[in-house]
């Protein structure tokens, strides 16, 4: 009867095999982490930016409405409409000093709102950042920092729109532009937020004109886009 000979693997070779397995396992784990990071990071960046934008927009809205309520801003406080003896509109002038004061006040209030602790430091569940209905609101809370830029751009824009043949609607808008950065551990998302608020408007009523000038297009190359229909006098500049 023949006996098989069993050869024992030397301990050195066994250690080498164990080391190789550990190295392969570590490489697999690292590769998986890199793959997961590449897949998850864009989602986290998008969601953190979305959350930061919503929070900042709400803060800006509250700041602007609070300033409008406090100052009692209306059309008459910003614009003076001059008429002749027959009631025809001869000019529309904006109160530049009043507008500049309002812009400075609302800008300061917006900066103060964006620097509030509840805006600067948000705590968001990790599952919410993955944009998954199953994980939303779950997981450990991560510190999402919203860092605003040092300046806020505000401006007052006037728009004229025709309501009918002898009525013109004049609207004043406040535009707000601000740059912020949403910061998570390892993820930074720059954002630019633009918002616009209607702060005052009126309807200017006048006689049916015997002639009018129609301007169409987006304003570029304006002299080439003006069509006169029997107009003999130039229109006043109504831009605030």
User: What pLDDT digit, counting tens, does each position of 152-199 carry?
Assistant: 888 888 888 887 777 888 888 999 999 988 888 777 888 888 999 998
Asked whether residue 137 is assigned to any structural domain, the reply reads yes
* Residue 4 domain flag: no
Q: Are 182 and 145 in contact (CB under 8 A)?
A: yes
In this structure, is residue 203 part of a structural domain?
yes
What span, in angstroms and rounded, lies between the C-alpha atoms of 190 and 185?
14
225, pLDDT greater than 80: no
Residues of the domain holding 36: 29-210
Three-class SS of residue 209? Answer: coil
> pLDDT value at position 176?
92
Give the mean model confidence (pLDDT) for residues 107-129: 79
pLDDT at 230: 41
89 lies in some domain: yes
- Quote the pLDDT of residue 158: 85
Q: What is the mean pLDDT of the chain?
A: 74
pLDDT-derived band at 222, boundaries 50, 70, 90: very low
Give the number of domains in the chain. Answer: 1
Does residue 24 lie in a domain region? no
Beta strand 187-205 with 167-184: parallel, antiparallel or unpaired? Answer: antiparallel
Q: Does any domain span residue 3?
A: no
Distance between CA atoms of residues 86 and 209, nearest Å: 14
At residue 89, the pLDDT reads: 74
Residue 172 belongs to some domain of the structure: yes
pTM recorded for the entire structure = 0.63
């Amino acid at each position: 009867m023949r006996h098989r000979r069993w050869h024992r693997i030397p301990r050195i070779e066994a250690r080498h095999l164990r080391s190789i397995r550990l190295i392969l396992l570590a490489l697999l784990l690292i590769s998986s982490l890199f793959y997961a990071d590449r897949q998850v990071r864009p989602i986290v960046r998008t969601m953190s930016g979305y959350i930061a934008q919503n929070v900042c927009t709400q803060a800006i809205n509250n700041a602007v409405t609070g300033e409008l309520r406090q100052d009692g801003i209306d059309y008459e406080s910003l614009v003076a409409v001059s008429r002749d003896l027959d009631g025809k509109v001869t000019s529309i002038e904006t109160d530049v000093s009043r507008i500049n004061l309002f812009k400075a006040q609302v800008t300061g209030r917006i900066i103060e709102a964006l620097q509030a602790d509840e805006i600067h430091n948000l705590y968001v569940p990790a599952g919410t950042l993955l944009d998954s209905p199953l994980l939303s609101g779950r997981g450990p809370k991560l510190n999402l920092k919203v860092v605003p830029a040092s300046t806020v751009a505000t401006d007052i824009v006037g728009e004229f729109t025709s309501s009918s043949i002898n009525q013109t609607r004049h609207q004043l808008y406040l535009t707000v532009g601000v740059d912020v950065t949403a910061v998570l551990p390892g993820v930074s998302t720059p954002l630019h937020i633009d918002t616009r608020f209607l702060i005052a408007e009126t309807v200017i009523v006048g006689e049916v004109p015997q002639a009018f000038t129609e301007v169409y297009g987006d304003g570029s190359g304006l002299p080439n886009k003006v069509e006169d229909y029997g107009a003999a006098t130039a229109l006043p500049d109504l831009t605030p």
